[in-house]
């Protein structure tokens, strides 16, 4: 187990409000979450997301409903509740809470999970009735397995079996849902932290070592939201993966920023060089007229003709006026 997802539905015995949402994370990490508050009157107008759905489907339902409700006028309560949820997690030391949730799900301890949620909600809602469903995830569950489940195994698996990558190692990018970068925003040549899966048997546990690779190819799979990645793992080894384009993956952000600034500097230098080369080429081209310096004598001649022209115009105007 590398990650957890906790879906919950709670009702306040004091106010009758309903709270529904999810928490997602890993051990010793602040949980990523989204939560909704629904008054009794609103329950008749909306369909509550089903907590028995798969986490990714449930998350999509919650996020969409939150977006719709937050756009409504005079509905500040939903954002206030989310702010309360965040500040309460912070007071409870969110990384510690994330670890408690992780261990409770790992141990399948429903009572501990309900106790944690009850503590979070208590200051706002008082006593609550809570229903929850927890899911366990490995890295692969949020990359390749998610892809084959949504689009059909044969449609995407063929990318991993292609002739150009048949000997490559299947990898799983390390996920960071809070501070990570979307795969779609990473460019060719940029670093990405991955987990090579040397053992092809999904059920057999083996020693796994996280390494940093470099993206050497990105292909958007047609009619899907998935990307096929080729990654340089170093020492001549090649990695391959199918991942969702918006999957947030872990990267060395300092290295990434240094690399991007270096590339930007190189591009500017190349642009300056190209402009300089064009100028030199124009100077060497004999078909182009050469620049001539204007001497002081040229200036006097031009000035003289200008003065004579002006005097002639004045004289003509005077003569015409006399007639």
The per-residue pLDDT for range 271-314, each reduced to its tens digit, is 555 555 555 665 565 554 544 444 555 555 656 666 776 777 77
Number of domains in the chain: 2
Kindly state whether residue 276 falls inside one of the protein's structural domains: no
In a domain, 226, yes or no: yes
Tell me, yes or no, whether 17 and 94 share the same domain: yes
Backbone angles phi, psi at 311, to 5 degrees: -60, -40
- Is 9 found in the same domain as 59? yes
Mean pLDDT of the chain: 77
pLDDT of 60 higher than 50:
yes
Range of the domain at 95: 3-137
Evaluate whether residue 241 is within a structural domain: yes
The yes-or-no verdict on residue 94 having pLDDT over 70 is yes
Boundary residue ending a domain (222, 254, 286): 254
Residues 131 and 179 placed together within one structural domain of the fold:
no
- CA distances 135 to 77, 180, 182, Å, are 29, 22, 23
Assess whether 152 and 91 both reside in one domain.
no
Q: Are residues 55 and 117 in the same domain?
A: yes
CB atoms within 10 A of CB 259: 16
Residues 174 and 99 in one domain: no
285 belongs to a structural domain: no
Residues 130 and 152 in one domain: no
pLDDT (0 to 100) of residue 203: 46
In a domain, 95, yes or no: yes
pLDDT value of position 235: 86
Task: Examine the fold and report which residue of 122, 137, 152 is the final residue of a domain before the chain moves on.
Answer: 137
The phi-psi region of residue 74 (left if phi > 0; otherwise alpha if psi is between -120 and 50; otherwise beta) is: left
Between 297 and 196, residue with greater pLDDT: 196
Is the predicted pLDDT of residue 237 greater than 70, yes or no? yes
Residues 131 and 32 in one domain: yes
Q: Is the pLDDT of residue 151 over 70?
A: no
Do 184 and 250 share a domain, yes or no? Answer: yes
In a shared domain, residues 167 and 244 = yes
Give the pLDDT band (50/70/90) at residue 119: very high
User: Do both 21 and 107 map to the same domain?
Assistant: yes
Q: Calculate Rg over the CA atoms of the chain.
A: 33
250-262 residue pLDDT tens: 776 665 566 556 5
Q: Is residue 306 part of a domain?
A: no
Point out the domain boundary residue: 254, 285, 305. Answer: 254
């Amino acid at each position: 187990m590398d990650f957890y997802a906790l879906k919950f539905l709670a009702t306040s015995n004091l106010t009758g409000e309903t709270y529904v949402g999810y928490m997602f994370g890993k051990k010793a990490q602040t949980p990523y979450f989204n939560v909704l508050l629904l008054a009794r009157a609103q329950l008749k107008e909306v369909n509550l997301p089903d907590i028995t759905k798969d986490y990714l489907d449930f998350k999509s339902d919650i996020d969409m409903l939150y977006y719709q409700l937050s756009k409504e006028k005079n509905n500040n309560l939903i954002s206030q509740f989310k702010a309360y949820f965040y500040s309460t997690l912070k007071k409870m030391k969110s990384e510690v809470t994330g670890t408690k949730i992780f261990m409770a799900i790992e141990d399948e301890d429903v009572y501990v999970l309900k106790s944690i949620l009850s503590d979070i909600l208590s200051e706002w809602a008082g006593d609550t009735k809570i229903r929850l469903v927890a899911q366990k995830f490995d890295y692969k569950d949020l990359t390749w397995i998610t892809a084959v489940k949504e689009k059909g195994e044969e449609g995407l698996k063929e990318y991993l079996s292609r002739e150009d990558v048949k000997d490559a190692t299947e990898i799983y990018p390390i996920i960071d849902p809070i501070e990570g970068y979307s795969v779609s925003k990473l460019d060719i040549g940029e670093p990405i932290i991955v987990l090579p899966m040397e053992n092809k048997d999904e059920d057999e546990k083996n020693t796994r070592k996280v390494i940093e690779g470099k993206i050497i190819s990105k292909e958007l799979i047609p009619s899907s939201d998935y990307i096929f990645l080729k990654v340089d793992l170093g020492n001549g080894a090649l990695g391959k993966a199918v991942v969702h384009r918006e999957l947030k993956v872990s990267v060395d952000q300092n290295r990434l920023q240094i690399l991007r600034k270096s590339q930007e500097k190189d591009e500017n230098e190349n642009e300056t060089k190209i402009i300089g080369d064009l100028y030199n080429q124009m100077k060497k081209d004999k078909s182009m007229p050469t620049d001539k310096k204007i001497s002081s004598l040229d200036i006097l001649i031009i000035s003289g003709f200008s003065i004579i022209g002006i005097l002639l115009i004045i004289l003509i105007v005077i003569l015409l006026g006399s007639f």
